[in-house]
Structure 1
Amino acid sequence: MDVKMKGIVRVVPYEPEWKNEFLKIKAMIVDCAGDLITGVEHVGSTAVEGLASKPIIDIDVVIDSYDVFPDVKDRLSKIGFEHEGNLGVEGREVFKRTFIDDFMPYNLYVCPKDGKGYLEHIVFRDYLRTHPEAVKVYGELKVRLAKQFRTDITAYINSKHEFVQSILKNIKK
């Protein structure tokens, strides 16, 4: 990742309330574009029970193909989302909210169902959900890296990359 991001890296213990927050955001997305999408998935660390995380929900809005993307983009813009492009990750379109809403912080991505980014999100999430020992190791790594790179989110993300890739490689074997 070449983009330098700013902010304090904060990793906190798992909160059961994250599931409910996701469901509220999902309901808004389904209400907006449910007829155009194939699903809304809670991905990332907040989707894994017991895993320490940055308190930001990651959401993949799944589309059948890029054929419907223009319509999804248009609908999301009507409820206050701005398309930011893929930000360097093929098969994942990033959207940001253009105003403060009542939800906890979240990242919203629109992904084709066969896109590499989406498939890796799901495989990694599902692996962690069924491997508590990996959750423990990953959580400890994240807490350590958050302390080490408190003001450098880019270094924090890059430092987690090796762990994530090692899990993905083992799954593909």
Structure 2
Amino acid sequence: MVNAHDKELSQLSLAELWQLFPIILEEYNPEYPRWYEDESRALTAGLDQAGLGKALARMNHVGSTAIPGLVSKPTVDILLEVHQNPGRISEETHFQGNGHQQPGCIGLDRFRPALESLGWTLMSEQRDNPVQPGDEKNRGEGTEESGGNAPGEGEAPGDARGNPSGSDTGPRMVFNKGYTPQGYAPRVFHLHLRYLGDWNELYFRDYLRVHPDIARRYGDLKRSLLAEFRHNRDGYTEAKTEFIQTHTRRALEEYSGRYSSPGLYLNK
């Protein structure tokens, strides 16, 4: 009988993937910011070396590991936003924030070879599905807050499933690092590559950072779900959706427009 550990991840069934990569919750690790800083520096240097440095617009540590004191899966989520037209960056100082590709702009797939050379694995790719500017659905929510599925699934780790505003629009690519045939590596990362936009993850993160009571409730919810959904990432995701939607809406009201300029809250 072939052991799951002897197979490539792409050869594993969904059941095998969920067994190999169960939901694991750990107390906050004060080393998470350093994990993010190390990886963000490597990303910046690697993309610059590949001639893509001018396209980088904003990079942020998002997800539960970006919230001090919050229990989480030990996975650092990075939101990397890029300019659609690096030659006209000055014109993006004030933008619509809808994250959709405009005609004649560079495609996100231009970044794939450079990211793969840095050890990242592409897990999912979503093409553009335009919406009208100003439509709330232009925002997406992903990262650990949306459950983060294991490699090989239709939705990859950190992809936009169960997002608060119901958004599944706008092109995006999701990469990961740290998933091996033997299980999790010591450091695990999800990279969310998108065009510059006014993304919900940033608001949800900021809201929980300044509302520790809400963060504690979120942590309690996660713990309560662990026994039932340890090997069911879809169920874990679905069970958190209402909480995330509620508090993301409040965050969007409290911090309206905070991320509508690319220079704000850079590399946090």
* Same structural fold, with TM-score higher than 0.5 when normalized by the shorter chain: yes
| Structure 2 residue 87 is matched with structure 1 residue 77 | no
Cα pair 2:58 2:82 within 8 Å, conserved: yes
Question: Can you give the 5+ residue segments of structure 1 that lack an aligned partner in the other structure?
Answer: none
- Does 2:24 align with 1:10? yes
- CA distance in 1 between partners of 2:197 and 2:174 (Å): 17
CA contact (8 A) 2:176 2:188 kept: no
Helix, strand or coil at the partner of 2:246 = helix
Cα deviation digits, residues 103-156 of structure 1 (max 9, x gap): 6111111011116xxx11101001111111111100111111112212111111
* Unaligned residue ranges in structure 2 (runs of 5+): 1-13, 85-100, 127-154, 161-168, 254-268
CA shift, 1:79, in A, is 2.4
Report the structure, 1 or 2, having the larger helix content: 1
Computed over aligned residues only, the root mean square deviation of the Cα atoms, in angstroms, reads 2.5
Distance in 2 of aligned mates of 1:58 and 1:99: 14
Q: Conserved in 2, the CA contact under 8 Å of 1:25 and 1:103?
A: no
1:61-104 Cα offsets, whole Å, 9 max, x none, are: 1112353423322321332333331347433311234986x861
Amino acid at match of 1:106: F
Does residue 1:19 correspond to 2:39, yes or no?
A: no
Q: What letter is aligned with 1:159?
A: A
Partner residue of 2:236 out of 151, 156, 167: 156
CA distance in 2, matches of 1:43, 1:98: 17
Partner residue, 2:43? 29
Of 163-172 and 76-85, more deviation after overlay is shown by 76-85
Between the aligned partners of 2:119 and 2:37, the Cα distance in structure 1 is 19
For these two proteins, the number of residue pairs brought into alignment is: 168
1:108 aligns with 2:127: no
The CA deviation string for residues 41-67 of structure 1, in whole angstroms up to 9 with x for no partner, is 110000000100000111111112353
**2:25 is paired with a residue of what secondary structure?**
coil
> 1:120 corresponds to which residue?
200
Q: Which residue among 32, 53, 73 is the counterpart of 2:72?
A: 53
**Identical positions, percent:** 26
Does the 8 Å CA contact 2:22/2:230 hold for their aligned counterparts?
yes
From the superposition, tell whether residues 105 and 98 of structure 1 become closer, same or farther in structure 2 (CA, over 3 Å).
Answer: closer
